[in-house]
Chains A and B, each alone.
Chain A
Amino acid sequence: MKANPNDFRVDAVGKLRAETRYIRDEKIPGLWFGAAIRSPLPRARIKSITFDKNFDWNRVTVVTAKEIANNYVAMLENDMPFLAEEIVNYAGEPVVLIAAADKETLREAGEHVKVNYEPLPYVLDMLQSENSDVKIFGERNIFKEIRIEKGNIEQARQNAFAIVELESETGFQEHLYLEPQGVVAIPEEDRVIIKGSMQCPYYIKAALDEMFGGKKHVTVIQAATGGAFGGKEDFPSLLAGHAALLAVKSGHPVAMFFDREEDVRVTTKRHPSYHKDIAYVDKNGRILGLDLTIYLDGGAYCTLSQVVLARSALTATGCYHVPHVRILAKAVATNTVPSGAFRGFGGPQAVFAIEMLIEEIAHRLNLRPDQVRRLNLIKEGQSTATGQILRYSVSAEETFTDVLERSDYVRKYNTYKKGNAPILERLLKGVYPKKNADDMLKGIGLSVSLHGAGFTGTGENRIKGKIRVEINKEGMPVIFSSQTEMGQGEETALKNILAKTLSIDRELILLTEVNTDLVPNSGPTVASRTTMVVGSLLVEAGKEIISRLTKKLNSETGKSFEYRLGYFYDGEQIISFREVAQKYAGLFVEKQYSHPPVIKFDDIRWKGDAYPVFSWAAAVAEVEVDPVTFEISVARYFTTHEIGKAINYDQAIAQIQGGSLQGIGYAIYEKVGLKNGYFDITGFTDYIIPSSADMPEMDVKILENPYPFGPFGAKGLGELPFVGAAPAVISALWMIFNYPFTRLPVMPEDLFSVVRTLKEKGA
């Protein structure tokens, strides 16, 4: 594989020339602005809402919960209201909506609404939620509980040479997409048009169809979307509902545009997690059994927590073959902002926990971390925790071996250990740690990770994604799909796949606007499924177009044309694709997805093929810690990804670099705390993501091991690069300090505390 300068992103030119129109750039005549009055308390009873008589309420439109017939956002559980009616369940929960012709009036109106709350006890700690008297969801505050069993964990325990236990935790993470949430609703007589920044137009349509009880036709159109990372998967359904309610009542188009502070304070975050894991191992470090307990903090409402939990549970054994497994996973409710989709979707939490457990095994048995990993890596023909036998495209060992060799892991591990020893010794003695001005503690860490491509379990068979390809009058194939471009390269990937199938120039392929009145529901743009699942439909559609064009041409001419790399050829004549296609303008093909029948999953007993295939990655992070200030930086980052087939090589490399850096952010930069139930961050100044200056030297390699059912062998890529980055970085900190770092993120302040603890122990 190598770079191809002609394979640039199809959306790049418009973005570079600032011609791309995001929702805030659109000129919408008569546009009003909407906003929500939000609860300041994590849990309270709404006693009254009063509207100050000194304000002229004719100037604005107000909506409260009472007016909403179907006051729930249709998602998995329908538990989240558009507006709280009696009880608010998190600080920031919307209570009243207001719209006005300008922002000044809107603000003024907001100041004249008074909501009286009676504060109620609340629960913020996910481990206390289950047994709390505070009931947020059902009797036990559990959104979902999953049990997976394989083999006989008792047998593993009895045969164990060592029993290794570890508790680990991960924190919130904010998406920090460049463009904050923004949606506009435009009311018409029997219809409402929703236009905005989003990943999943059909999710919004389903939620609003339900909200309006079918009384309005809902059209959802995606505007150019400036980043999402999962943050625009579930949340825009709530926001679009707000815009639509205000638009219908006021009769004006209404914009719900968040500024950065509102965006980081009230939109979804990555699920925090808590793991209590036990590994039963033999004396060489071979894992005989894993007994894993997983908690995810779902926040006040369910959103997608059940599926996030499923992915966490199904990823919990990592890239390892384990004969005996018991997993108990729970997603619980707390009085915090609902957690939602975020790149990796439960996978990063699970992989962090298992990778740290591996570190602990190595630590306990006095082995190098790579030795324990290598011994346990899963291979073709072996089975996962659900009994899924990996029959094809398995590359845990290949990626691992490659990245270890390229990074020279073993040699550096030994060299750095030796170099660190005197610095550490002095540090722990409490004397000046440096021998030379530029002395640094150098760590090298590693991780292996995987990501199940496509929806979890039977999801794809439920959603039955559908696409259409139609030949237009100019003889150009037009793709109709609901997949969205959010900066990840979806448009480029879909065009490339169809162009390659038809052997024609990419410039001949068109994509329809993502508008639910025009495009079929090909499923949401999530779960690393677009290239692999929707791409496979495009390959089928392309092949059918060729065969149907050939048939038509032959029956019309009485000759026997066959298709050769973009041309129809019959021995005498050769005619281009476009010329033939133009003759049969209007011809269209529809394709609907279902898993190949060989892929089977039982989501009641949690047995079988949880994912049609996995993508694989291994990473090595070289980390430097300043022994004076404990500042942490990643100096070099090596990763090898096996993704079946790279549809666009440059874009795949960019995805891997960006995802890795985001994962490094998760490890050592990005921290969200709670203050009185509120997130303590306001935006870019206090939520620190790594900038280009923090980008390590990156060395990325892509391996290809085709998935027989993917387009040209391609598997999912979008989320995978994120998953293994944090454990690789933290593995390097274990290596430096010989100390179990089990909580993400790790800050210099944490290293300072650890060193102080180690000092006290030594003394």
Chain B
Amino acid sequence: MSKNNTVFRPRDLKELDRIIEQNVPPFTFVAGATDLMVQTERWRAAANLIDLTSVSELHETLGVKDSSVRIGAAVPYSRIIKNSVVRELLPILVEACRQIGSVQIQNRGTLGGNIANASPAGDSLPVLAVLDANIWIGPARNGKFTIKKIDEIMTGPGQTILGEKQYIAFIEIPFHEREGQFWAFRKVGQRSALAISKLNLAVLGWLNDGIVKDIRICSGSVAPQINRHRRTEEILRDKKPDEKLIEQACQMIRREISPISDIRSTEEYRRHTTAEVLRDILYQTFAIYDL
């Protein structure tokens, strides 16, 4: 970071909002800084840094209610992983947090950072999408935060709808019916830890008498944005999955994604493997093995 830059460390939301009001953008909102600090140029150019980890509400909130949990945008992954209620009620979120970076990264990195950073490879994003999380965007107006879904916030790689005075404040995740629930989060990277995903896939669904009552599927790293694959979901919904139906779903997800070739992988591998990972998850969920 350049010597002349200002760093703000507001203690609470009130002070944070005042700083935003009284200073001239651009601001660089930062929590764990696990991505920003390692990018020499971006870190150097970072102007008016606002450290959200000093904002007590954002850094500490992990509020469990009857029907949902509200997590501060600057709460590190490791606290989410350790929380016993989250572990019990949102195992898919814990699984995604566990597969992010390494233990060191999990101690610093946050859901808020993952969302605002808007990388298509952000590992928590597909999971937040299938969990139907509400993202609370500050500053609040008359005590009310702007609330959006994950796929409404990210508009492209590194691009969000956030205005230059806006920040991610909280992530509110509803608890879902546990009866008949099945879930999976898979990450494919070049090594076991500290790898940026080549692709990832989150699946959350509910079964009743072998029939798929509902299913939500979201991939990461295989499109410029994070999108649920609603046409693939549609194929499986209200059906009793068999090999033929799953084949149709796999064909559909291949069409619903738009991967590219880059330094991490190839377009063809990503398209093929996303579909095969979906097949793997569904076969295992429905115990379809041609024995």
Contact = CB atoms under 8 A, between A and B. Distances in A.
B273 A686 contact: no
A628 B289 contact: no
Interface in A671-703: 673, 680-681, 683-686, 688, 690-691, 693-694
Interface string B258-287: 000001111011001100110110011000
A694 B193 CA distance: 8
A748 interface: yes
Nearest to B38: A685
Contacts of A104: 2-3
A691 to B, nearest CB: 6
B130 to A, nearest CB: 20
What range describes how many residues of A lie at the interface?
20 to 34
A692 to B, nearest CB: 8
Interface in B189-204: 190-196, 198
Contacts of B266: 749
Q: Give the one of B2, B102, B196, B276 with max A CB within 10 A.
A: B276
A688 B272 CA distance: 22
A688 B2 contact: no
Contacts of B198: 748
B291 interface: yes
A685 B3 CA distance: 26
Given A432-B279, A629-B277, A693-B191, A749 B269 contact: yes
Interface stretch (A125-133, A392-400, A434-442): A434-442
A33 interface: no
Contact of B193 (A633, A683, A693, A749): A693
Given A434-B289, A629-B273, A630-B273, A694 B192 contact: yes
What range describes how many residues of B lie at the interface?
20 to 34
A685 B277 contact: no
Interface string A735-746: 000000000000
Given A437-B284, A748-B269, A752-B272, A432 B290 contact: yes
A688 B2 CA distance: 30
Contacts of A69: none
A103 to B, nearest CB: 9
Interface of A is mostly: loop
Given A431-B290, A681-B263, A688 B191 contact: yes
Contacts of B3: 104
Contact of B192 (A261, A680, A693): A693
A669 interface: yes
A259 interface: yes
B194 A628 contact: no
B40 interface: yes
A631 B188 contact: yes
Contacts of A434: 280, 283, 289
Interface string A628-641: 11110100000000
A437 B284 CA distance: 6
A747 B261 CA distance: 14
A261 B195 CA distance: 18
Interface in B173-207: 188, 190-196, 198
Contact of B263 (A629, A633, A680, A691): A680
A635 to B, nearest CB: 12
Contacts of A628: 273, 276-277, 279-280
A684 B194 CA distance: 9
Contacts of B277: 628-629
B289 A259 contact: no
Given A630-B273, A691-B193, A693-B193, A686 B264 contact: yes
B192 A686 contact: no
A389 B266 CA distance: 49
B248 to A, nearest CB: 14
Given A691-B194, A693-B192, A749-B269, 18 more contacts: A432-B290, A434-B283, A435-B289, A435-B290, A628-B279, A628-B280, A681-B263, A684-B194, A685-B196, A686-B264, A688-B191, A688-B195, A691-B191, A691-B192, A693-B194, A747-B190, A748-B190, A748-B198
11 contacts: A104-B2, A104-B3, A435-B289, A436-B289, A628-B280, A680-B263, A691-B191, A693-B192, A748-B190, A748-B269, A752-B269
Q: Which 3 A-B pairs have the closest CB atoms?
A: A693-B192, A693-B193, A688-B190
